[in-house]
Structure 1
Amino acid sequence: MNLERKFYIGIDLGGTSVKVGICGEDGSLLAVYEGPTEAEKRAEGVLQNIELYVRELVSREGYSWNQIAGIGAGIPGFLDFQAGLVKASPNLGWRNVPVKEILEARLGKEVKIDNDANAAALGEVWSGAGAGISNVVCYTLGTGVGGGIIVKNNLCQGFNGMGGEIGHMNVVAENEAIACGCGKTGCLETVASATGMIYMAKEAVIRGEKTSLALIREISAKDVLDEAKAGDPVSVQIVDRAAKYLGKSMALLSIIVNPQRFVVGGGVAKAGSYLLDRIEGYYCEYALENARENVDIVPAILGNNAGVVGAAGLHLYE
């Protein structure tokens, strides 16, 4: 092994599991270790677990600790990324946790943090579907709607870390808007996330609408997407509504940051071209011609590894 090569550690911290990976300087994911978060142990116990997982991975793969140039962590919640502070993470039950300071003391390496959606976006730009493109907007469609905006190869974090909160763009028409978990109404997340789709499906069943979803005991977003593909009119309407507002949000972003590419990932995006084609149709309908010229909408390709790769890349993308 070339001991002069430098490597970066990425940490993708979730509510139930922690994924740790080693990346090369080209964004290649070389090795991964995954262990339980054990959130019930509170911040101190979780960060201790992370230290153990990082050291275990480096040791197991035979790397020298001196080869590790830096460590990055993608964390769900609201962060002060400059101070390295997790201000609030509802999924973990954390508030005002100085993650950077604690991990640097435990691991003896420079640590950078960002929210998990920004980290996933960086992963796709570094070595995924956005590789080689300097202006990209990434969507992560899962339990919520996460996002990351890269302009001229720089991550747009904003002055206090709220840059790229795409899921909370107020795009839903007032007569259709419902309350979001953030406390506002009309957020993209309420219609384009798995949670939003499930909510709309259950409401349709309760209203007694004629739909095959009524035969499913515990409706999932996958069920909604599968039934839409099979032609169920209620499911088609739900997916079309999500696509409409995703396309509208992209049209708005196209005249704010003017990206060359939109990358769409997350569990909901596994619907593939069925969803992406509809998003693109609405994007073209809403976007100004000059803003959409030579712009494409593509699926993410790193899957569940995007977050860990992007977290490692925090040291290379300022």
Structure 2
Amino acid sequence: MRGVTVKRFFIGIDLGGTSMKIGLVSDQGKVIRETEKPTLKEEGADGVIDRMVSHARNLAKEACVPWQEIQGVGVGLPGFLDIPGGVVKYMTNLGWTDIPIRDRLQSAWQVPVKIDNDANVAALGEVWSGAGNGEKNAICITLGTGVGGGIIAEGELLHGAKGFAGEIGHIQVEPEGALCNCGQTGCLETVSSATGMVRLVHHAVSVGEKTCLAPYVRDGSLSTRHIFAEAKRGDAVARKTVDQAVHALAQVMATLSVVLNPSLFIIGGGVSQAGESLLNPLRKKYQCLAQKNARQDVRIVLAQLGNRAGFIGAAGLLAHIQK
């Protein structure tokens, strides 16, 4: 009937090592219903996949949406993926190898299924219905235990030849720096992640530098919250640590600007909880380091969706292609 808008529903799943977040999402990016369930990785791939299937169906049922009205399911996954083939090649935190997850889920649900990297779907979520507000060229950087990234170019997720596009945390910023988990030295992750910032303070204390952060180092409770708080109070080690992390991040963002020319950087993850204490120096340093034309009109903002970004973006994998 003319003039009647038919709402379409999608399910998004953000699978992690400890929990799976599942959301029923409209074609406008609105969350209708959501849930979080334990992953129970000890059940192996078969058990986890079976539980994903049942939890998704139950969520739709709880929302009084018949399964026939679900247009598709998107799944965000950590690890190395064959995205076109729908296969988890290797997932460290769950111990999966060569799992054809898309075909198995598609067979169980009888709806289209798409998979993608968890950082990519978080970026898509923010651009679709969060801080990105529909931007066509944006880069989402997640500062947590590591540094993740997702790139939206001309409205599309950028994957690259082997699916590694967006591994921003492994851009080298200090050739003689600390060893990264990837085997390379001086990656951005070793300086600007929460782990990297804590490491810098530990090193400063170990060589005898005086800091109010020393008690947190000794009892093992040091976090970036402590570092930013003491930096604000003028602690020299804390300020140096924040400066180093911000400089490295701005350096990488300046490089990305001349390569990809984004209009927006979205900063998320635990470190971003520092808010303007992070954004203010980051914006200033970026303006100093980025090429004039590439930095023009570029905005740097905080992510808005929190831990909902993953499942919203996963649903967006299907909603996006059906527009």
Match of 1:5 in 2: 7
Match of 1:68 in 2: 70
Q: Is the 8 A contact 2:174 2:187 kept in 1?
A: no
Pairing 1:219–2:222 present: yes
| Length, aligned pairs only | 315
| Identity within the alignment, % | 48
Q: Distance in 2 between the 1:244 and 1:201 partners?
A: 16
Match of 2:89 in 1: 87
- Out of 229, 239, 244, the residue aligned to residue 242 of structure 2 is 239
**Superposition CA RMSD, Å:** 1.5
What is the identity, as a one-letter code, of the residue corresponding to 2:255?
Answer: L
Shift of the alpha carbon at 1:249? 0.7
Shift of the alpha carbon at 1:4? 4.6
Q: Distance in 2 between the 1:310 and 1:102 partners?
A: 21
Match of 1:285 in 2: 288
Alignment of 1:112-123 (within 5 A): 112-123=114-125
Match of 2:197 in 1: 197
What is the identity, as a one-letter code, of the residue corresponding to 1:206?
Answer: S
Match of 2:184 in 1: 184
- Out of 79, 102, 110, the residue aligned to residue 77 of structure 1 is 79
What is the identity, as a one-letter code, of the residue corresponding to 1:181?
Answer: N
What is the identity, as a one-letter code, of the residue corresponding to 1:200?
Answer: L
Q: Distance in 1 between the 2:58 and 2:229 partners?
A: 40
Task: List gaps (5 residues or longer) in structure 1.
Answer: none
TM-score, with length taken from structure 2: 0.94
Secondary structure of 1:212's match? coil
Secondary structure of 2:234's match? coil
What is the identity, as a one-letter code, of the residue corresponding to 1:54?
Answer: A
Shift of the alpha carbon at 1:298? 0.6
Q: Distance in 1 between the 2:179 and 2:188 partners?
A: 11
Task: List gaps (5 residues or longer) in structure 2.
Answer: none
Match of 1:307 in 2: 310
Q: Is the 8 A contact 1:112 1:314 kept in 2?
A: yes
Shift of the alpha carbon at 1:94? 1.4
Q: Is the 8 A contact 2:10 2:319 kept in 1?
A: no
Pairing 1:298–2:301 present: yes
Q: Distance in 2 between the 1:147 and 1:4 partners?
A: 34
Q: Is the 8 A contact 1:153 1:317 kept in 2?
A: no
TM-score, with length taken from structure 1: 0.95
Pairing 1:157–2:159 present: yes
TM-superposition CA deviations, 1:168-201 (whole Å, max 9, x none): 112x2324x1111111112111111111112222
Q: Distance in 1 between the 2:317 and 2:201 partners?
A: 38
